[in-house]
Structures are given as structure tokens and as C-alpha cells.
Copies of this chain bind each other. A is one copy, B any other.
Amino acid sequence: MMIIMRTDATKEQVSRVVDRVENFGLTAHISSGEERTVIGAVGESRPLLMDQFLHLPGVDRVVPISRPFKLASREFRPQNSKFRLDGFEIGGKGIVMIAGPCSVENREQILSAAVAVKNAGAHALRGGVFKPRTSPYSFQGLREEGLELLEEARAATGLPVVTEVMSKEQIPIMLPIVDVLQVGARNMQNFDLLHAVGESQHPVLLKRGMMASVDELLMAAEYVLSHGNQRVILCERGIRTFETSTRNTTDINAIPVLKSLTHLPVILDPSHGTGHWEYVTAVARAGIAAGADGLIVEVHPNPSEALSDGGQSLKPDRFVKLMKEIDAIAAAVGRSIEPMLSE
């Protein structure tokens, strides 16, 4: 870290900072400019330490030098991480498509959605059974019953299943059925849950919090990785800004930024990113054009009857059209939709 002194800092104040740097076992490098002195503290970096200089007299600011994440960084692992899920690989050249309804609502709905996305070429089925809802009066999900329906949809179509886990007690009942544990945006900094999905050694889809920085997303991934669980997929799903014409603001910059900072696969959720089905396909194309490794898209057999997020869900025929357009964009960036082994 660099400790930037005030312009009016005294020699004694500089000495005291240098002493403290050395007390932590670090080496102090002093740069004295005309205006002010800067002290570089070199050695093992711990974010914790930064706070411990802010109160010292004469200190103006402390600037970190190292990135706070390690296992997630491309400096740690230069090549892309890729890994197999049931029937396909993520993180390689192939584009992966995850699709399905926001919530599992009933047997007919989830089976119909699963067959529709399977026929359109999706690789995995999404569907929430434990639902984080802003209001306690909204539909909270079918819970265990929904898991059984997902199991049935999985058996009927062969599609692996992605579903959100909201607390660690849900993990044991999910493991036999669910292929990928999704950590939702609202739980991206539920560190207790991050530890638990890390310990599960199960694949994890980690959604960026709506007000989380790219660095914080990578720190959340670091929680999972620190348990030796390396199968982590990152998902940009829109951030919260002042703009209200869409539900969230898709941070398209985050795609190349993440691809540059980390080796983990990165996908985009254009459904939450926009919140309006009319804009989903355009932003889905943008995501693949920007370098995303896949998409997660809300598809519902009958969006206007959906119990949640109907306004951002695509009808199956629109999803077929989206798949065709993604196919063209993938080719334009020298990639293709990942083939499925079962085909």
C-alpha cells in the first residue's frame, strides 16, 4: 500500500508511519516530493492493514496497490478456467445457454418450459423454487415441492438444473437434484452462504449484487474458491443506477473487465439486466459480442400468467429467435454455441 502524507505533515509524523510499517514486518520506501511525502509499504499485503494507518497524525490517504483477490485473478491463473457440467463444458470456446422460468409454478408449466428451451437448444434449465421476494406478501416459491418438479423436468429432458439457494440448510436437499447452485444478487455478500456453497464442492453460479463493484464480485468468488471449489461461474445481471427506463443497468463493460481480471467463466443475464422482454434479445446479443461465455435467460410458456417476473420473460418462440441471433453473433466473434453431448 502507499501511505500519502498531508502537505503539512512533520518529519516526526513521517517517522512514526515508517516505524509502524516496519512493525508490521513490511519495508518502507520513502518518496519525498516538493509538496508531500509518500511512503510505500512493501511486503505481504493484507487489506486489513490499510485502516491501521488512517488515524496516524499527518496521514492524508492510503492507497492499495495489490488487488484484494488472489485465487480468482488471472495473474494467479492465466488460462481460462473451464469445466464440465452434465453434457456440456463452460468456459471454453462454446457459448452456453441457460434458460427457463423465473419460478417453478406447477408441473405443467415447468415441464412445458423445459421442453421448449431444450428444443430451442438450451444447455441447462433454470427455475427458482426458493424465491427472494422484496415483499413478504409475494409468491415465495414452491420450495421442496418445486425441487421435485425440477427433478421431473430434468428426467424428462436431460437438461441439468440451475436453481437459487437462499440459505445453507437448503444445500443438502438440493445436492442430489440440482446441478448448479445459484447465489442470487441479494445474497452476493451473504458470506455465511458463500462459505457453505464453497464447502459443498458443487458448481456455483454467482450473480453480481445490484450495487456490488466488480472487485466485490471477485472477492465473493474468492470466498467460494478458498474452499477449493473451483467450479464458479460469474454472472453480470445489471446494476442499480439513476436510470429508470429499465429495471437495472446492464454493465456491459463488466464483461471485458471480468474477462481481463479473472480466469472464471462469465455469463450475462439480459432478463434481469433490462427487466423488459422487448430489450432482452438486443442485450443478449451485446453480451456475446462483448465476450461473455454464455447467457441465462428467463423463458416462460405464458409470461402474462407468470407468478413472478412475467414482464421480463420471453415466450418460447421468441427464445427460438434469440438462439438464432446468438448463433450469428457467436460466429462473428469466432465462437459457436456449445454442442451438447446428448445430440
Residue on B nearest A328 in the bound complex, by CB: B332
Are B310 and A55 closer than 8 Å at their CB atoms?
yes
CB-based contact A134/B68 at 8 Å = yes
Q: Judge if A111 is at the interface, Cβ distance under 8 Å.
A: no
Residue A159 at the chain B interface, CB threshold 8 Å: no
Complex: A168 Cα to B168 Cα, angstroms: 10
A135 and B65 contact, CB distance less than 8 A: no
Q: Which of A201-251 contact B (CB under 8 A)?
A: 209-216, 219, 222-223, 226, 238-246, 249-251
Contact call B251/A257, Cβ cutoff below 8 A: no
Q: What B residues does A260 contact at CB under 8 A? A: 278-279
Contact, CB under 8 Å: A65 / B33 = yes
Interfacial chain B residues near A12, Cβ < 8 Å: none
A128 in the interface (beta carbon within 8 A): no
B245, A56: Cβ atoms under 8 Å?
A: no
Q: Does A47 contact B (CB under 8 A)?
A: yes
**Contact flags (1/0) for A94-121 with B, using CB distance below 8 Å?**
0000000000000000000000000000
Q: Which residue of B lies closest to A315 (CB)?
A: B55
Residues in B neighbouring A250, C-beta threshold 8 A: 251-253
Chain B nearest Cβ from A249, distance in angstroms: 6
- Give the docked Cα–Cα distance between A289 and B56 (Å): 27
A316 at the interface (CB under 8 A from B): no
Question: By the criterion CB–CB under 8 Å, are A282 and B290 in contact?
Answer: yes
Q: A285 contacts the other chain (Cβ, under 8 Å)?
A: yes
Tell whether A329 is near chain B: CB-to-CB under 8 Å. yes
Closest-CB distance, A138 to chain B (whole angstroms): 6
B245 touches A213 (CB 8 A): yes
Q: Which of A256-301 contact B (CB under 8 A)?
A: 256-257, 259-260, 273-274, 276-279, 282-283, 285-291
Please measure, in the bound complex, the distance between the C-alpha atom of A112 and the C-alpha atom of B207, giving whole angstroms: 41
Of the 9-residue stretches A79-87, A146-154, A173-181, A187-195, which lies at the interface with chain B? A187-195
Do A191 and B282 have beta carbons less than 8 Å apart? no
Binding site for B on A (CB under 8 A): 2, 4, 6-8, 29, 31-36, 38, 40, 42-48, 50-56, 63, 65-66, 68-69, 75, 132-140, 166-168, 186-187, 189-193, 209-216, 219, 222-223, 226, 238-246, 249-257, 259-260, 273-274, 276-279, 282-283, 285-291, 303-311, 325, 328-329, 331-333
> What are the 10 tightest A-B residue pairs by CB atom distance, in nearest-first order?
A211-B211, A54-B311, A289-B289, A33-B42, A29-B31, A55-B304, A286-B286, A256-B282, A31-B40, A328-B332
